Amino acid sequence: MSRAQDLRQTIEDEIVEGRLALGARLDEVQLAARFGVSRTPIREALLQLAVSGLVETKPRRGTIVSSPEPHNLVAMFETMAEIEAACGRLAARRLAASDREALEAALAACAAASDDCEAYYAENYVFHGLIYRASRNAFLAEQALTLHRRLAPYRRLQLRVRQRLPQSLAEHRAIVEAILVGDDALAAERLRSHVLVQGDRFADLVAGLRAPDAA
């Protein structure tokens, strides 16, 4: 891995994990000083992140952590909902014994972390990743993981909404139940509903984007 790729991964992780806030300015000089490198690999890393959509360049502001318009965010969540539904459908059809054990363990880990937003988010990431893997479709799983990371800052904000953690955990239980009994249509529908933002959930998400530190 080149230095620029390594820096890209580090900055991406900080965005996904919420350490770099939505709308935060990414100054090349400051980043170069922080990481002890020249501006060239920093610039290359930011260009790579721009391709993925995690950062964008704004007139008079420079490079910032992306905060997309509401209609674009809806489109991304709609796409994610359909991809997750496909993963759940295939997982219900193709579930192996090892997948069953891993999903049950991941669900238990989510329950154990359900009083801590950040801890729950980390377990949530594992939970969804296991469903992608259980689909036994490597290409679909790769696309799901890529978009999941792209939406990670916004999914984290959703979890900060009051009562969203227990609701999310209940949805996880229902998803696992459908997958374990092999009901592919129900698993797909429950995952689609779990991911899709609409109505009050979308209003809460947009409010969080306007004041990400207020939770």
Domain boundaries, the chain: 3-65, 70-210
- Integer-rounded Cα Rg, in Å, for the chain is 18
20 close to 11: Cβ distance less than 8 angstroms = yes
Residue 211 has pLDDT above 60, yes or no: no
Cα(105)–Cα(160) distance, integer angstroms: 24
Tell if the pTM clears 0.85, that is, is over it: no
Three-state secondary-structure class, residue 36: coil
Asked if 3-65 and 70-210 have one fold, the answer is: no
Residue 54 has pLDDT above 70, yes or no: yes
Cα angle vertex 211, ends 209, 214, to 5°?
A: 125
Q: What is the pLDDT of residue 212?
A: 43
- The percentage of the chain sitting over the pLDDT mark of 90, rounded to a whole number, equals 56
Q: What is the pLDDT of residue 206?
A: 65
Q: What are the residues whose beta carbons fall under 8 Å from the beta carbon of 45, sequence distance 6 or more?
A: 4, 5, 7, 8, 11
What is 70-210's CATH number?
A: 1.20.120.530
> 11-43, pLDDT tens digit by residue?
988 887 778 888 899 999 999 999 999 999 999
103 close to 134: Cβ distance less than 8 angstroms = yes
The domain 3-65 is placed in CATH, from the list 3.30.430.20, 3.40.50.11540, 1.10.10.10, 1.10.1530.10, at 1.10.10.10
